[in-house]
Structure 1
């Protein structure tokens, strides 16, 4: 009896042994074939990726270099801010685990995470935060203007930082999530900031040659250490060079500046192309000065009705979402205002006939070569009202100069700065726009004592400016990210602004 049982068990033992051997062999082959030796389980590894970018920083000095490229490469990777903004653009914890505000908006208390350190192992405590913020203010470093309301920065203990203001500033938390809130190691007195780094982030700068930044994993990082051991940021002269790098395998990730490159990248085997939203706004700027036809509210409004912004947003290669006001989707105060000026040529024509046939003298829509085709489309739509408009194309530098000086009638432009909507209340020549209600509402927003109330009041400001048709907003642009199939965890939104690499796996 027992002999028959042993005979029946033997085939199962053989089967089990063979199965285990096959599983181990398959697993070994997977590890051998995995690109760059990355961990298949997403943990720490010796993985290395190369990221292709366009705009290279002239210096890595986070204190004095205000270029976008510096923030894209270093903030969230090498340097960290006191607080940050999450994917919904709400203020969230970073170096500070939590914070509180006084009811009068004059005192902010930040409670820091315990155990945080800089890359050299020195403590990232309240004394270090105070020293860093004071240097930013006193040295008039990048971001100092956003801290102009600060009266004092103190630390009652080594886990608490208290900022006291001269007057309420509801933008303070937003500022501390940006360049003003970058925390720099106070031990870096006479350091070479232009070529190396002194932060607390998941990576350190191991070398900088001008065309290449080498990042190395910070083995002393106080949070979960990054999966990647090294990252090379390689700056390329053109989108075509980025496409070539992805095609020949020298790049693992590419971030082209133009959306047109996306179609070429998508044709490469093993490459996935994604796009996220940016803060870059494309609009038809109206010169509201008295000599311009767009000084008249009705002219501005019927022009907006004649431009099919929804269709433009659907068909432009670089468009991510339609935009109908001065504040974009990822800026505090955004409101969906697309219903205010739907495409309605008949309504535009009806409003146009309020003016005499010869009332409008010929004028041009100014733009640069990069926007030629879209500008011609808009000229055709405006001419259908009819308006006596033709296209004028100049180089990008001339476009920027003339628009800033108010030397134009209308222009197709891009805007992409954190508070660029203030151009509609600062009295500058750029738009020549004067609206008492808008100025009053903006002042009301700034008078709030907390960020949430400030954001709500900005929404009202956004609506006032859009209803008055201060310009004709078209769309918010996209950021394109191309990755090889083995690269995982790279975000897609706002990658032209910041490129966080801590959670990327390969």
Structure 2
């Protein structure tokens, strides 16, 4: 059966980018960079931190993902509506039983070093991601793959242990980028050799990273000569740089900062995001190994208050799944409204009538609302007798601790995906490669995720993931808070850039400076 597949998941209308008219005012501060606006066709993007790695299989930091998406290619891609479209594979076929997927690679695809892409590179990449010693963050995406073979240089065949309706969307993640079989992790941690529309140019750590147009890109070389990601740690300084013309584009998550950025020459576009804010609980560490303690935390938090305090209400209170076709009902949880009496009952049941202390880590620098979220959660939990000890970390230290599951609780912003398997298949199944970070698994979730992967019918999958959401909420596995908006600020001469609900900057390949 030939099936040049497009994902059945369509972004809901609420996730379409819509222009937001904001009352503008001038911002102040040093722009943190030179007075040179990049010149010519160099587009300057203001960012608050430097990518922590250039190795795509281990990247989790948002700034790193933004850069790597433009340097590397994947077998499939997501379009602006978050539907699966061809990438390095121009087409694919799925067998009638769903156990064999055959990909036909594009002709004429080259890596930035001039070598040709062939099926051997794909086999090497996918097998490496699957290998436990690689510690790839998206290894679980390939959990159903039993073997990867290349019958000829332009064909790749995946043999699956069971049908997997999520894998095509999963293959679009840059965490499954196709690398040259000649490159190693050591080669690519600070360098890059991809098949993407841009190749790595100059880099000054903690100051700037520039990517340049790749003339031999299979989709046609970008019109921009280069894109500079200029590190300006303070967002108000990015605002000043935008208004002075030294930065062309920036993405904010603080609506007040975005409002201050708008001026005659700067436009703001508001885009609801799939990414979600959560208080992650490590259910394998005391006192969070007691479900009653987790439920007490859940009942103590007014999510709307966190959203209002941290992001001025610019977002939506959510449940676990933000994928539009599988959206969780935020009221389908114990204590959909804050209930301190119920929280104290749960604490008493757990043996903490006199309260308890909880260590919570939070990052500073990757996104603007983090510390405000943490402090509001701290204040709310105190009312229930839970004393929160906050540990504020710079983003590099936070990511290291997070990946190692070296925390009791963490205020987190995690990326959402159009398919719930892509969101949580690496977290909550006991075999997920980030299950240690998730801090929770169960036989029920193992079975539900297996059913979700193997079921193709959209309505049946919706029912399965409703059960997943309910299981996560009933056990207060994490405390899901809200999804926020991104605010993309662009100079008037920036044309063709399309913000996406998954936060991707992939449309830089189609962007021009008018």
Q: What's the TM-score, normalizing by structure 1?
A: 0.71
Match of residue 395 from structure 1: 392
Match of residue 21 from structure 2: none
Contact 2:303–2:482, Cα closer than 8 Å, also in 1: yes
Displacement of 1:503 in angstroms is: 1.4
Instruction: Determine if the alignment matches structure 1 residue 82 to structure 2 residue 75.
Output: yes
The whole-number CA distance in structure 2 between the counterparts of 1:67 and 1:263 is 25
Displacement of 1:368 in angstroms is: 5.4
Structure 1's 53 and 196: CA in aligned 2 closer, same or farther, altered over 3 A? same
Structure 1's 190 and 98: CA in aligned 2 closer, same or farther, altered over 3 A? closer
1:324-356 deviation line (CA, Å, top 9, x unaligned): 4333347xx8423123257546x7647867997
Question: SS where residue 223 of structure 1 aligns?
Answer: coil
Which of residues 194, 209, 220 in structure 2 aligns to 1:199? Answer: 194
1:257-283 deviation line (CA, Å, top 9, x unaligned): 7665324323x5412233434454333
The whole-number CA distance in structure 2 between the counterparts of 1:355 and 1:144 is 36
Instruction: Determine if the alignment matches structure 1 residue 327 to structure 2 residue 321.
Output: yes
1:11-42 deviation line (CA, Å, top 9, x unaligned): xxxxxxxxxxxxxxxxxxxxxxxx9999xxxx
Match of residue 281 from structure 1: 276
Displacement of 1:197 in angstroms is: 3.9
The whole-number CA distance in structure 2 between the counterparts of 1:403 and 1:204 is 28
Q: How does 1:34-433 map to 2 (within 5 A)?
A: 47-58=41-52, 60-62=54-56, 68-75=62-69, 77-119=70-112, 123-126=116-119, 129-130=122-123, 132-133=125-126, 140=134, 142=136, 145-146=139-140, 147=142, 150-166=145-161, 170-179=165-174, 181-185=176-180, 193=188, 197-210=192-205, 211-256=207-252, 261-266=257-262, 268-285=263-280, 292=287, 295=290, 304=298, 307-314=301-308, 316-317=310-311, 321-329=315-323, 334-341=326-333, 344=337, 349=341, 360-364=353-357, 366-367=359-360, 373-375=372-374, 377-378=376-377, 381=380, 387-396=384-393, 413-416=411-414, 419=423, 423-424=427-428, 426=430, 433=440
1:340-393 deviation line (CA, Å, top 9, x unaligned): 257546x76478679979972222465457656545544665566xx3234433
Contact 1:324–1:466, Cα closer than 8 Å, also in 2: no
Q: What's the TM-score, normalizing by structure 2?
A: 0.70
Displacement of 1:108 in angstroms is: 0.7
Structure 1's 467 and 65: CA in aligned 2 closer, same or farther, altered over 3 A? closer
Contact 1:205–1:214, Cα closer than 8 Å, also in 2: yes
Structure 1's 161 and 313: CA in aligned 2 closer, same or farther, altered over 3 A? same
Which of residues 438, 462, 466 in structure 1 aligns to 2:473? Answer: 466
Structure 1's 337 and 50: CA in aligned 2 closer, same or farther, altered over 3 A? same
1:452-498 deviation line (CA, Å, top 9, x unaligned): 67676334212222244434321124434221111123233367665
Contact 1:54–1:239, Cα closer than 8 Å, also in 2: yes
Displacement of 1:293 in angstroms is: 8.6
Contact 2:99–2:162, Cα closer than 8 Å, also in 1: yes
Displacement of 1:79 in angstroms is: 1.7
Q: Which moved more, 1:53-62 or 1:350-359?
A: 350-359
The whole-number CA distance in structure 2 between the counterparts of 1:80 and 1:433 is 33
The whole-number CA distance in structure 2 between the counterparts of 1:282 and 1:303 is 16
Structure 1 runs not aligned, ≥5 long:
1-34, 39-45
Structure 2 runs not aligned, ≥5 long:
1-35, 365-369, 416-421
Match of residue 491 from structure 1: 498
Question: SS where residue 332 of structure 2 aligns?
Answer: coil
Structure 1's 280 and 252: CA in aligned 2 closer, same or farther, altered over 3 A? same
The whole-number CA distance in structure 2 between the counterparts of 1:355 and 1:276 is 39
1:80-113 deviation line (CA, Å, top 9, x unaligned): 1000233444432222233222344431111334
The whole-number CA distance in structure 2 between the counterparts of 1:101 and 1:234 is 43
1:183-233 deviation line (CA, Å, top 9, x unaligned): 335576999645654333222233333333332222333324423222222
Contact 1:326–1:421, Cα closer than 8 Å, also in 2: no
1:407-440 deviation line (CA, Å, top 9, x unaligned): 75xx561142665576555497877656553444
Contact 1:366–1:399, Cα closer than 8 Å, also in 2: no
Contact 1:323–1:337, Cα closer than 8 Å, also in 2: no
The number of equivalent residue pairs is 454
CA RMSD after TM alignment:
4.6
Higher radius of gyration, 1 or 2: 1
The whole-number CA distance in structure 1 between the counterparts of 2:42 and 2:143 is 41
The whole-number CA distance in structure 1 between the counterparts of 2:216 and 2:372 is 51
